[in-house]
Amino acid sequence: MDLALLCSSLGMRQQEVMKLLRGKVPLTPEQVNTIARVTGLAAEEIAQTVRPLPFGLVVTAEHPRWRRVWHERARRQHISEAEARLSGSYGTFALAARETGGKERNWDERLRRFLSDEELGPGGA
């Protein structure tokens, strides 16, 4: 795979493309098609690599109490509210996946922590 070509085709920096390739952020349909075109892989095969979000997290993220948060995140990042919600949900899911234990996740708390960490940056400062 030609990583430089993939980066330029997607219009993204290498660091962002690597997150896509590692499954750390969701792929948009346009990105799936671009990756398929550049790599020669089938778009359906690439689309199947996107891990679905847990139902509980989706329900929580869609709750009206989070609407203002997604609106503000979208404004700050110059993206749509849907993209802000989806990428925030996947970031929260990645955070939860790194934690161990079989108990039910408190998705409201996980969303708060992910978004707080995102605003504060690495190391909380």
Rounded CA separation 90/48 (Å): 16
What is the gyration radius of the CA atoms in the chain, in angstroms?
A: 16
Phi, psi of 44, deg, nearest 5: -65, -40
Average the pLDDT over 53-65 and give the result.
93
| pLDDT tens per residue across span 76-110 | 988 889 888 988 888 888 777 766 555 667 999 99
DSSP H or E stretch at residue 8 = helix 3-10
Q: Is 28 helix (H, G, I), strand (E, B) or coil?
A: coil
**What is the pLDDT at residue 125?**
43
**What is the pLDDT at residue 102?**
55
| pLDDT tens per residue across span 18-27 | 888 877 777 8
58 neighbors 89 (Cβ within 8 angstroms)? yes
**What is the pLDDT at residue 93?**
85
